[in-house]
Amino acid sequence: MCTVEKVNIFPDGEDSCTVTNYTFLVVLITNESYTKEEFNKRICLSKPAMANLTKIIKAYVSTNTKVRLL
């Protein structure tokens, strides 16, 4: 693990506030570059989508296509 020196930034001569994490373009960004929360968020978002796809695949996709996907 590398260490990063903390840098103080003063835009327009004013002190800026420090945050521990924020969301930018649907990606969770943390000050420690730790992405466990991001992975968990994406897994939680993908579970319902995969459940819906499973219903479609079972009903409408042929066995040959399923084999090619694997």
pLDDT value at residue 43: 85
Length of the chain: 70
Most confident of the following: 26-30, 38-42, 61-65: 61-65
CA distances from 14 to 9, 17, 65 (A): 9, 10, 60
Note the helical H segments in the chain: 36-60, 63-69
Mean pLDDT score, 9-38: 72
1 pLDDT above the threshold of 60: no
pLDDT value at residue 3: 61
pLDDT value at residue 41: 81
Domain ranges for the chain: 16-69
pLDDT band at 2 (very low <50, low <70, confident <90, very high): low
Q: Helix, strand, coil % (nearest 5) of the chain?
A: 50, 10, 40
